[in-house]
Amino acid sequence: MRAVIINPKKNNSLEIADIQIPEPKIDEVRMKVISAGVNRPDILQKKGLYPPPVGSSTRLGLEASGIIEKIGKNVKALKEGDKVCGLTPGGAYADSVVLPASHCFPIPKGLDFYEAASLPETYMTAWVNLFEHGRLSRGERVLIHGGSSGVGTAAIQLARWRKSSIFCTVRNKKKAIYCKSLGAEETIVYLLEDFEEKILECTNKLGVNVILDMVGGEYISKNLNCLSHRGRLVQIAFLKGSKTNLNLFQIMLKQQIITGSTLRSRSNAEKERIVNVLKQNIWPEIESGNIKTKVHEIFKLEDAELAHKKMELSDHCGKIVLKVNEP
């Protein structure tokens, strides 16, 4: 079968290779991939900056949609021919991928395969970091950096569902308009305004209760400056680096918390728990149209390298996905 591989002899370029079709274990399924989501961890892994956990696939692709083509002998809830999307342990940039049956979602009614492929990793990341690590509650104020990204757009809509007050940073006014359409109350174009000053102005210097940040670097100290008393800063990535100088005395005085997490390193049991929470709480909201997904652009599997370059430009709104096979 076809699969995208990283060629270290050609500056880690992405190429199509012919590899053996994987076989599912007793609690796994094999999915014929129709579409695969493109995510920042894929780009970091390609660059050698985000090694996969021990035992995981070394190939790219953390979420996909498609059709079940084979099931393990212990799988009862799914059958061959079922249309699903799911969180994969890597390897979704391929004709077929193996994943735990418990990490599969039904494709929400009204969504196509490309929209469905944009959901699993994105919404699981947003949910667990906003609500479990960030403990965002009804009526609290939240700042979401990178509001127009895949995780950003998911986080805005989850925070709106939780009835929180939403601020977000964006690159330009086009992205600002898009984020407001999803539920952001205040958007900050970071190339034109200082987000720290704007947050303190808009909150009468109270700050926000939760910040979801994937930037890091110089943003970390600025985040803490506009974080409220007992506020929570949740890091999900470090696009500008993970090292900075901090005034820990300020953190102690304001009783602030710095936390964060990755999804891929969690156990299968923990991922299954998050899948079930989303099935119960968010999948009905997607099917009703209260929560929407936006696919910015679809690339062919052979053009995965171009898809990565597109993401690195950061001029997209929503998700970038790959078309792997015909539905």
- For residue 55, the model assigns a pLDDT of 83
Distance CA 3, CA 96 (A): 8
Instruction: Determine the Cα–Cα distance for residues 225 and 233; give it in Å rounded to an integer.
Output: 11
| Second CATH level (architecture) for the domain 123-260 | 3-Layer(aba) Sandwich (3.40)
Residue 54 banded pLDDT, cuts 50, 70, 90:
confident
Q: What is the pLDDT of residue 61?
A: 98
| pLDDT tens digits for range 1-40 | 999 999 999 999 999 999 999 999 999 999 999 999 999 9
pLDDT in the model for residue 56? 86
Could you give the residue range(s) of every CATH 3.40.50.720 domain in the chain? 123-260
**pLDDT per residue as tens digits for the range 110-155:** 999 999 999 999 999 999 999 999 999 999 999 999 999 999 999 9
| pLDDT value at 197 more than 90 | yes
What is the rounded distance in angstroms from the CA atom of residue 316 to the CA atom of residue 133?
Answer: 27
> CB burial class (10 A; 0-12, 13-18, 19+) of residue 141?
buried
**Interval 172-188: pLDDT, tens:** 999 999 999 999 999 99
Beta-strand (E) ranges in 116-196?
A: 141-144, 165-170, 186-189
Question: pLDDT (tens digit, 9 = 90+) per residue, 90-113?
Answer: 999 999 999 999 999 999 999 999
| CA 230 – CA 70 distance, rounded (Å) | 49
Question: Where exactly does CATH 3.90.180.10 map onto the chain?
Answer: 2-119+264-323
User: With 90 as the cut, is the pLDDT of residue 63 above it?
Assistant: yes
The CATH code that applies to domain 2-119+264-323 is 3.90.180.10
The predicted model scores a pTM of 0.96
